[in-house]
Chain A
Amino acid sequence: EPEVTQTPSHQVTQMGQEVILRCVPISNHLYFYWYRQILGQKVEFLVSFYNNEISEKSEIFDDQFSVERPDGSNFTLKIRSTKLEDSAMYFCASRVDSANYGYTFGSGTRLTVV
């Protein structure tokens, strides 16, 4: 079964450093998402991306965050200057088209900011 692949599985970074989380969505999917889950809490929406632009973003997704689909296969989330409260599991997800609402989530990247 097709999968959404995320790398790395775990990243530790120092506060103030930039991190890039990488995702390879399912190849024929058109909609891409980032969600995050702080330990023990609910999954929260960050951003959606369609047709090479952001289609929707949450209040969490401030100027420190950016997304990119640099080469038609990878989908990245960049956090410019990490804070302690950015520590969370970050999930990438993709969806095939507008008629199909089912997301496929990746296994996540655990980001630890120290």
Chain B
Amino acid sequence: QQQVKQSPQSLIVQKGGISIINCAYENTAFDYFPWYQQFPGKGPALLIAIRPDVSEKKEGRFTISFNKSAKQFSLHIMDSQPGDSATYFCAARGAGSYQLTFGKGTKLSVIP
């Protein structure tokens, strides 16, 4: 119940294309859903996050779509650039909990 399932494991997108990464969860007590971007040798960096009371949040080229009834959320990267090549992790936090539960990560490669 504490798991967050992330797909795909890896993704290759052409420059200018849309990258879509999906996550699903079981625990209905999760109340905060962030996405992290990680470059090799670096720690995860918060990209964008959403609470379950909204269905979509957009920040620049990054959009989270959230489907509460399906218990799914996804990250869309519009106009993907080679600099977006990184590993992306979805995560979730349970209400009243201090910890984040991470998905297994998606390695995104944006090719010119």
Contacts and interface: CB of A to CB of B under 8 A. Distances in A.
A35 B101 CA distance: 10
Contact of A101 (B93, B104, B105): B93
Contacts, number: 54
Nearest to A56: B98
B46 A104 contact: yes
Contacts of A45: 99-101
Given A42-B104, A91-B44, A101 B99 contact: no
A106 B38 CA distance: 11
B102 A102 contact: no
Interface in B37-54: 41-46, 49
Interface string A38-58: 000111110010100001101
Interface string A81-114: 0000000000101000000011111111000000
Q: Is the interface of A mostly helix, strand, loop or mixed?
A: strand
Contacts of A75: none
B23 to A, nearest CB: 12
Given A43-B102, A44-B102, A45-B101, A101 B49 contact: yes
B69 interface: no
Interface string B87-112: 00101010001111111110000000
Contacts of A41: 104
A31 B42 CA distance: 21
A94 B55 CA distance: 27
Interface of A: 4, 31, 33, 35, 41-45, 48, 50, 55-56, 58, 91, 93, 101-108
Interface of B: 32, 34, 36, 41-46, 49, 89, 91, 93, 97-105
24 contacts: A4-B43, A31-B98, A33-B98, A41-B104, A42-B89, A42-B105, A43-B91, A44-B102, A45-B99, A45-B101, A56-B97, A56-B99, A58-B99, A101-B32, A101-B93, A102-B34, A102-B46, A103-B34, A103-B100, A104-B46, A105-B36, A107-B42, A108-B41, A108-B43
